[in-house]
Amino acid sequence: MEDYPLVYRCAIVVKPLQPFLDWLYKIESDNDQTLTELQQDSNIYLLPDFEQAADIEKAVDKYIKANYAGIFTHELSEWYLDPALYPKISYPSFLEWFDMTTHTMIYDTVKGSIEKE
């Protein structure tokens, strides 16, 4: 059995929801992408390791509340770089625009260091 090292981070998978797709359609009315297609290869964000927190879910929520604007902007900038096209960014709108799943056990199956850009 292969032994994979644990990466001391949590992660969230951020999947766009219907308001995100509506925003894309508003900018490009001829865009024919479906929500299913949009969600097929969602972004994953590494978070601090919250394994020692008394309540991991609350710790992740607190982190997301403090960092949602950067994630929201990053998701928008994957499509358009002009901030004039962006909607008003707020925590409630972030929760409406994206579905998130949290993962606390991250294993590295690749030998060697992780490269960052």
pTM here?
Answer: 0.91
> Which pLDDT score is estimated for 12?
97
Tell me the domain boundaries of the chain: 6-107
Sign of the C-alpha dihedral computed for residues 78, 82, 88 and 90 taken in this order: positive
Q: In the chain, which stretches have pLDDT less than 70?
A: none
> Which pLDDT score is estimated for 25?
95
Residue labelled with tokens 């601090």: 48
